[in-house]
Structure 1
Amino acid sequence: MSKKHKISKSRKKELEDEVTKTVRKFKEDYPQIKSPIENSYLTIEKMGFFIIGKKLDDDISGFHLNIGKYKCIFINRNHHYARQNQSLWHEIYHWYTNDIGHISSKNAIEYEEMEYKAENFASKILIDRDNLKDVILLNNIKVKYIKRREIVQLQNHYSASYMNVARALYEEYPNEFNPNRMNLGLRKNHEKLIEFCKKEDLDYSIYNIPKSDYITGSFIEDLKQNYIDNKITLDYLEDILNLIDEELNIGE
């Protein structure tokens, strides 16, 4: 079995440029989606998606599939909200581009170009790069000397993770942003990040992990109404309900 190699820095830049074009086209098709996005769940549901959340293995971020005519995104509720927001838009990339792989994994991002592009797309939807520059200018933030506190404030503004914001800054200001500022956003330093937020009296609710599973409220009702209207058969309805109740173990 051949060893996987990380995507090179130069190749990442090429992929990021490709994604910028995809994001531009996506925003032309969906002009109502503007950064910052207050509620990614609701925004994506308004696009016609049904979202089903379940606590899964930590390495799994999510996946999307069609159940009949229903566009569904399955998301890992074992992750904090910042990661879930990223994963939701990651799956929108796969759907929008039809660049589809397997179940999305956090560990695949540095090795698989398709996953890297999906992740960069999600970042650019959550953190619109032009908007980021405007916010930096408006708040008189000196990127070269940006403080960790300011990065946390940006994370809360965009409902994204600290690392997501740091990478966006590095992408847009490669000659100014100090990459050492990324350290606090590393997975191994997550508890340090939370302690930093507490010490600085900064909101860190974006890192809360929900206790419950999730299903789009109208999903089950829509299925039942379609059955009543003779648009789907009883067998079809039962198959979908069994998938939700048994396979995903999410109640109505």
Structure 2
Amino acid sequence: MSHKRKLTSEKKAELYQSVVPIAEEFRSRFLNKDAPIEDTFETLERLGYFIVRFPAHNDLSGFYIKKGEYNCIFVNSSHSLGRQYYSAWHECYHAYTGDIGGISLFGDMKHSEMEQRAEYFASCILMPEDLVRKYIRQNGLSNLKYIKYEHLIIMQNYFRVSFSALITRLIKLYPRYKNDLSNRYNLGRPENAQKLLKKIHAVGGDESLVLPTNKFSVSQRFYELLHNNLKDDRISTDKAQSVLELLESMKQKYES
């Protein structure tokens, strides 16, 4: 049996460097470069993407499809909200660049150059280097060797990401603190969820970022736009019906 080879550190570095300008261009064109993204789903919908969230097995991150005139991003809602935001931007990468494969599985990310690029894109969108370094500087956190958990949680809330995603990003930007930050990474693991929630409550943080939503969700705006486009003959009845049938079949599957 053949085994997929993991991406080397050198290859990951090469992929990261190739994605940074793409993410910077996207933020410059469509986002406020000087502020974090408060609500990823609302932002993506404003940009013309449509978000469908549904609970699935843990290895599934999400997937992107173009259905009729619509760019649809599907996200696994059994993950924490912070990870859902990350997964949405991961799929946005596929839509924006045309670098498209199948569904995004966590197991593939260690081996797939395309999936690794999408992960880096999400990281750079949610936690752009200049904004992270500005936050670190303004909050007097330059010595990450001794950074406290409460400071990390407050930073996590600021960037609206999962705890694990924040630690991974900090290690990428501040590699000399890799060992110290890696020790803190464990708090974001599922088995330590209650410990993390306790620390979040202690600083008045947003616990929703680390909890799954486990719901099937399609924004009302999606249905309104679909109806308006059909009414104004911008899409055909068949195309509109195919979208509705797809969503209804998924809803029945995950709510039954």
- Give the TM-score normalised by structure 2: 0.89
After TM superposition, give the deviation of residue 129 of structure 1 in Å. 1.2
Q: Which moved more, 1:199-208 or 1:37-46?
A: 199-208
Letter in 2 for 1:125: I
Judging changes above 3 Å, is the alpha-carbon distance between structure 1 residues 8 and 195 closer, same or farther for their aligned structure 2 residues?
farther
Letter in 2 for 1:235: D
Counterparts in 2 of 1:1-252, with a 5 A limit? 1-32=1-32, 35-141=35-141, 142-177=143-178, 178=180, 179-198=182-201, 202-249=205-252
1: distance between equivalents of 2:163 and 2:210?
A: 10
2: distance between equivalents of 1:214 and 1:74?
A: 10
RMSD between superposed Cα atoms in Å:
2.2
Q: Is the 8 A contact 1:33 1:43 kept in 2?
A: no
Q: Which runs of 5+ in 1 are unaligned?
A: none
1: distance between equivalents of 2:46 and 2:34?
A: 13
RCO higher in 1 or 2 (8 Å CA, sep ≥ 6)? Answer: 2
Q: C-alpha deviations, 1:120-145, integer Å up to 9, x for none?
A: 11011111111111111111112122
Q: Which moved more, 1:49-58 or 1:22-31?
A: 22-31
Q: Is the 8 A contact 2:216 2:251 kept in 1?
A: no
Give the structure with the higher percent helix: 2
Judging changes above 3 Å, is the alpha-carbon distance between structure 1 residues 176 and 58 closer, same or farther for their aligned structure 2 residues?
closer
SS at match of 1:176: helix
- Give the TM-score normalised by structure 1: 0.90
After TM superposition, give the deviation of residue 211 of structure 1 in Å. 4.8
Q: Which runs of 5+ in 2 are unaligned?
A: none
Letter in 2 for 1:212: K
After TM superposition, give the deviation of residue 31 of structure 1 in Å. 4.3
The alignment of Structure 1 onto Structure 2 pairs a total of residues equal to: 251
Judging changes above 3 Å, is the alpha-carbon distance between structure 1 residues 226 and 22 closer, same or farther for their aligned structure 2 residues?
closer
Letter in 1 for 2:140: N
Letter in 2 for 1:239: S
1: distance between equivalents of 2:213 and 2:76?
A: 10
Q: Is the 8 A contact 1:58 1:78 kept in 2?
A: yes
Letter in 2 for 1:243: L
Q: C-alpha deviations, 1:185-226, integer Å up to 9, x for none?
A: 234434442344346664422112225321121222222233
2: distance between equivalents of 1:99 and 1:231?
A: 27
2: distance between equivalents of 1:184 and 1:211?
A: 22
Judging changes above 3 Å, is the alpha-carbon distance between structure 1 residues 47 and 33 closer, same or farther for their aligned structure 2 residues?
farther
Q: C-alpha deviations, 1:16-54, integer Å up to 9, x for none?
A: 111112212222332446541100000000110111111
Q: Is the 8 A contact 2:62 2:73 kept in 1?
A: yes
Runs ≥4 in structure 1, deviation > 6 angstroms? none
Q: C-alpha deviations, 1:43-96, integer Å up to 9, x for none?
A: 000110111111122211111111111111111111110010000000011111
